[in-house]
Amino acid sequence: MLSLPVYLYPNSLDVILDLDVYNQGIYNIMYQRDLTIQKGIKNNIQLQFKNSDQKPVPISSSTFVFTMFDRTNQKAMIQKPVTVLDDGVTTSTRGLALLSILETDTWQIDCADYQFSISMFDSSDRTYTPTYANTYYGMAGTLHLEHDLMPALQPSISVTAFQKYLNRDPGAQNYNFFTGPIAANPVFHGNGEYHTMAVYMTNYTGWVYPQGTMDNTPPSPGAMTDYANLDARHYTAFTGIDYFNFQGVWSYVQLEYIPDSGPYPGLNDQTQYTGTVDKVLYRG
């Protein structure tokens, strides 16, 4: 049997806050470790404020702000208040604070190396003073923004141009419209996961059919025998978005829609009477 160790411990970072005016003890730490956080999830970082003698300092009445910035462009990427855990009484929480970086804080930021700093609010003159990353008065630390824990969300496939085919029944004289084949990537759906189509319509009257095929070579959109209808819905002057959810290991999918004929039997491509299907978004 394979054994996989998993480590669960706080992301802890020491911050030098030397409030000793006599500076009697100095225990030099040359470097601060780099801080690594993950993009797109909540990161809780425990901050331990110490003096230059590596002793925790009380911070129960202090206010701190964390700033992450692009050093090259001097652009602030994240700026957040720090939650002080030190209650002024409990010894185990002396000098402790918590920084929470949420999913939304990092989602729009590129994975790269950044600088970070922590500033302390001075209530006497309402300004901010620096804290330090090490005992050599280095103020900024290095932060690595990584994306190793979760896959990146991929954009939906969008179709706005539809292929028009004359109905194969000569007596119908109707037109069918197709998105054309959309790769459904069956290798990622071995357990029959769900697919979703969002159909955007404006005053549309007619039928809509999501379809799928297991053919490894995408058939022509007009080759109806190669596709299976996965759903069928009729609309009357519908404006809005409707969703189709279906399950299966399909090689390709497509959407077919057939507008009603309107006041001119046999001619269903007059959009002023039938309305329009404007866009299809597919996610599989």
User: Alpha-carbon torsion 148, 184, 196, 159, what sign?
Assistant: positive
Do the domain assignments include residue 72? yes
Residue 99 near residue 82, CB atoms below 8 Å: yes
pLDDT in tens, 138-159: 778 889 999 887 766 678 899 9
What the block records as the tokens of 6 is 């998993």
Percentage of residues of the chain with pLDDT beyond 70: 82
Domain count of the fold of the chain:
2
Euclidean distance between CA atoms 28 and 113, whole angstroms: 26
CATH number of the domain bearing residue 16: 2.60.40.3350
Which residue from 61, 5, 15, 60 is spatially nearest to 35, judged by alpha carbons? 15
Do the domain assignments include residue 232? yes
Q: Residue 72 above 60 pLDDT?
A: yes
Do the domain assignments include residue 152? no
Residues sharing a CB contact under 8 Å with residue 276, sequence separation 6 or more, in sequence order:
201, 202, 203, 204
Q: Of the given ranges (34-38, 131-135, 220-224, 256-260), which has the lowest mean pLDDT? A: 220-224
Q: Which residue carries 């009357």 as its tokens? A: 236
In the chain, beta strands by DSSP E: 11-16, 35-38, 43-50, 64-70, 75-84, 96-101, 113-122, 127-130, 141-146, 157-159, 163-166, 175-178, 182-183, 194-213, 228-229, 233-247, 252-259, 276-283
Percentage of residues of the chain with pLDDT beyond 90: 37
Q: Of the given ranges (32-41, 97-106, 170-179), which has the lowest mean pLDDT? A: 170-179
pTM: 0.60
Question: Quick one: 277 and 166 in the same domain?
Answer: yes
Secondary structure (DSSP) of 196-238: EEEEEEEEEEEEEEEEEE--SSPPPTT-GGGSEE---EEEEEE
Euclidean distance between CA atoms 108 and 249, whole angstroms: 33
Which residues pair with residue 115 across a beta bridge?
A: 69, 142
Do the domain assignments include residue 74? yes
Please count the other Cβ atoms lying within 10 Å of the Cβ belonging to residue 132: 20
Residue 223 has a pLDDT of: 62
Residue 192 has a pLDDT of: 60
Euclidean distance between CA atoms 253 and 211, whole angstroms: 6
Question: Quick one: 70 and 29 in the same domain?
Answer: yes
pLDDT in tens, 6-59: 555 677 877 877 665 555 555 555 556 788 999 988 999 998 888 777 788 898
Do the domain assignments include residue 1? no
Question: Quick one: 115 and 204 in the same domain?
Answer: no
Question: Quick one: 166 and 276 in the same domain?
Answer: yes
Question: Quick one: 200 and 244 in the same domain?
Answer: yes
Question: Quick one: 26 and 133 in the same domain?
Answer: yes
The domain of 84 spans: 11-146
Single out the residue in 90, 121, 146 at which a domain terminates.
146
Q: Of the given ranges (24-28, 54-58, 79-83, 90-94), which has the lowest mean pLDDT? A: 24-28
With H, G, I as helix, E, B as strand and everything else as coil, classify residue 133. coil
Euclidean distance between CA atoms 94 and 84, whole angstroms: 10
CATH number of the domain bearing residue 176: 2.60.120
Euclidean distance between CA atoms 201 and 180, whole angstroms: 18
What the block records as the tokens of 133 is 């990353």
Which residue from 237, 235, 233 is spatially nearest to 272, judged by alpha carbons? 237
Who wins on pLDDT, 251 or 278? 278
What the block records as the tokens of 69 is 């910035």
Question: Quick one: 237 and 135 in the same domain?
Answer: no
Single out the residue in 84, 111, 146 at which a domain terminates.
146
Do the domain assignments include residue 128? yes
Residue 3 has a pLDDT of: 47
**Max alpha carbon distance in the chain (Å)?**
100
Secondary structure (DSSP) of 179-200: ---EE--GGG-TT--EEEEEEE
